[in-house]
Structure 1
């Protein structure tokens, strides 16, 4: 019975490896469509170029395409969904004096924005 359990676990693990990479909502816990809405509501495009966001042609901050491929968030934090969400919510705590202002983004919007950005980089 023990060997059967091990074999079953191996099959499940292999099946997981052969599928598509996890979706951006699975990675972040957010919803990319709600993220687009949050990006528009918080005015992120005023400072950033963001693919797929109408009017997001800002040049103050970096362009946000391919964010999932970057090693760091804000040049400071290792790139992970948690760190991206923390940066979106509290940029001045992480890098005081940064051009990125605290915009009052709540936890749900940060998750959704991160889901959108990671989704766009696929």
Structure 2
């Protein structure tokens, strides 16, 4: 009986909407990343699962960024490249509409961690 309750409890935790504290591809904290994406107003331009204002259509949807081949349409998709894009999109593509937001490397890592969640 105790084993069954433990299994039910673990299954229930899996259904929670709270992101995990660590994402292995980026090494960042998705919980913090979700808060940062909201604080920096990223959902004003992008559709991002679990972030307020999910109806934006200015920039591309970021719901499936983990599955894409490129970041910003230019860089091979990797956690390091997504971090670079988040920190300095105009250094990579000067014509990008994405603004420079003075995001730190640590913040970009956490934002990448959230965006890379399945």
**TM-score bucket of the superposed structures, by smaller chain:** 0.7 to 0.9
Alignment of structure 1 residues 14-29 onto 2, 5 Å: 25-29=23-27
Residue aligned with 2:98, SS: coil
Task: Give, in angstroms, the shift of residue 101 of structure 1.
Answer: 0.7
- What 5-or-longer segments of structure 1 have no aligned partner? 1-22
TM-score (norm: length of structure 1): 0.76
Q: What is the aligned residue count?
A: 98
Q: Which of 56, 59, 78 lines up with 1:58 in the alignment?
A: 56
Instruction: Say whether residues 1:97 and 2:105 are aligned partners.
Output: no
Q: Which has the larger Rg?
A: 1
Alignment check: 8 A CA contact 1:24 1:116 kept: no
Q: Alpha-carbon deviations, 1:42-101, whole Å to 9, x = none?
A: 110011011111223221100001111100001100000000000000000000021011
Partner Cα distance (2:58, 2:52) in 1: 17
- What 5-or-longer segments of structure 2 have no aligned partner? 1-20
Larger helix percent: 1
Instruction: Say whether residues 1:109 and 2:112 are aligned partners.
Output: no
TM-score (norm: length of structure 2): 0.79
Alignment check: 8 A CA contact 1:44 1:56 kept: no
RMSD value, Cα:
1.4
